[in-house]
Amino acid sequence: MKKVLGILIAVLSTNLGFAQGTVSFQANISNRNGDVIYIKDNMNKTIKEIGLNKEGLFSDKFEVKDGFYVMFDGVEYAQLYLKEGFDLKLKMDAKEFDESIVFDGKGSEENNFLAKSALEEEKYNYDDLLALDEDNFNKQIAEKANKQILRLEKSKFDAKFIELQKSNIEENQKGIKQYFAEKLKSKKLNNTKSVSFDYLNHAGGKTKLEDLAGKYVYIDVWATWCGPCRAEIPHLQKIEEKYHDKKIAFVSISVDVDKDFEKWKKFVTDKSLGGIQLFADKNWKSDFMLAYGINAIPRFILLDTKGNIIDADAKRPSDLKLQEQLDSLLK
């Protein structure tokens, strides 16, 4: 699963206090991303590392408490439901990760349901959902949750699985509502004057927003540890190349903590990152981050030539709509 957020929300239900016992897990993975798969608990702690056996399979037995877990193959994630006595056999192609997951054996029904649900989430159009007005947004997510719960109630799944999955649906609903509320706050910043910044520049010295007066400014708030941030880098580099001679400055602001300053410097150099590379003071608690209410990354911001906010929650570099917007501004 490439969108890790969905899984992170889904495993919020604690497994503490549940029955504990042994499960068997076997995986036959073609085009695998590594020779080890990791089983992680709801605190993202690895409880089991399973290496390839002589037959080229990942196979092991281990102790778990009944509940939700995550399988990580070194690149992507898949949610698991594990319970005492389960004997799961997974077959998949890592190149078509979510699309190819199929479970067999005891516990397969619940886990195939999770795999199908994850694929549905991948394909769900959250952009259109988040573009709705508040009333229609609330109506749609309520309908979505009700359909999911009804499907569970009609199933013959394990009772504990149904209970936990209902809880996860509620948590997901809360999470998307919170995200929607944050987007509404961001929209209120549009057409107002941006707060300034004055940060250390990877190229030397410091750079403040006022230094870029007369240019449009596209800001990328990121960190070296952020997978989704790094996934946007190749797209950002292409955007920078396309508009390098235009009246626009590309600014990347890292919110890495101070102890990772040298790591950030090395990352920028090793990856040949372009644009203006800045390091925020006080990382997440920087005045700039607080003014924009930034508590999740990557976050993109687009300013006009006078430092006014065009879009406080701009499109990502991987979204073709960004280029359409920039073209309309620069024509």
Angstrom distance (rounded) from CA 202 to CA 129: 38
Angstrom distance (rounded) from CA 328 to CA 331: 6
Q: Do 288 and 197 contact (CB within 8 A), yes or no?
A: yes
User: Residues 228, 234, 239, 241: what is their CA dihedral angle, to the nearest 10 degrees?
Assistant: 150
Residue 238 neighbours by CB distance under 10 Å:
13
Name every residue whose Cβ is closer than 8 Å to that of residue 192 and which is 6 or more positions away in sequence: 308, 309
Say whether 330 is catalytic: no
For residue 247 the two structure tokens come to: 């009246």
118, 223, 229, 248: the catalytic one is: 229
Of the candidates 122, 138, 186, the one whose C-alpha atom is nearest the C-alpha of residue 315 is: 186
226, 231, 257, 291: the catalytic one is: 226
User: Residues 74, 78, 79, 83: what is their CA dihedral angle, to the nearest 10 degrees?
Assistant: -80
Q: What share of the chain is helix, strand, coil (3-state, %, to 5)?
A: 40, 25, 30
Say whether 180 is catalytic: no
Catalytic residue list: 226, 229
